[in-house]
Chain A
Amino acid sequence: DAMVIQNPRYQVTQFGKPVTLSCSQTLNHNVMYWYQQKSSQAPKLLFHYYDKDFNNEADTPDNFQSRRPNTSFCFLDIRSPGLGDAAMYLCATSTVGQLQPQHFGDGTRLSIL
């Protein structure tokens, strides 16, 4: 089945220690998104790629970076995680167009010690 796969499902890191989350997709979608979701809150868009074109949200902290080496893979790098970065990180994909839904992976739950 075509899908969006996030690894790992759970990640524990230390305060200030860089961490990388990964997302892969077999849907061959042009657009890939990274969201941060905290408890009882809406998913918050961090950035998205249209093919290799990177689009950063204005309020995404510089601490968050991303890479998309090819169509299938996308990475979220948190350079110096703080306690406030503990959250669920969601990867989603879609095809181009305003009518297209986004399809989410299972998410990575990040904890900061």
Chain B
Amino acid sequence: QKEVEQNSGPLSVPEGAIASLNCTYSDRVSQSFFWYRQYSGKSPELIMSIYSNGDKEDGRFTAQLNKASQYVSLLIRDSQPSDSATYLCAVNPDTDKLIFGTGTRLQVFP
């Protein structure tokens, strides 16, 4: 069974700190990996995608992928209270489907 695992949290970090969110996946043939942010009561919003091993940076966000370890992470630098949300890791092991993790709830306190 294809699975995506995330720690449900909450992960609490102070404003200005680095938040580190982690995700592991079971299907080795997975080729694409996405991070979605979901505010309470809202729909998921795509914030990062990564396809190759290594780091990908976009503003305050950095996605990291290690296919050998089947591990993908999201770093949020200079965390802000507005970053408080649930972060969903999604993996594409098949042509047109995504497998979602249950999400990590991030709380950034002032």
Contact = CB atoms under 8 A, between A and B. Distances in A.
Interface of A: 31, 40-43, 45, 48, 50, 88, 90, 94, 96-107, 109
Q: How large is the interface on B (under 10, 10 to 19, 20 to 34, 35 or more residues)?
A: 20 to 34
Contact of B42 (A31, A97, A106): A106
B46 A106 contact: no
Given A42-B4, A98-B31, A99-B51, 12 more contacts: A40-B8, A40-B103, A42-B101, A43-B44, A45-B98, A96-B95, A98-B92, A98-B95, A99-B31, A99-B32, A101-B34, A102-B46
Taking chain B's interface residues, is the majority helix, strand, or loop, or is none over half, making it mixed?
loop
B43 A90 contact: yes
Contact of A101 (B46, B95, B100, B102): B46
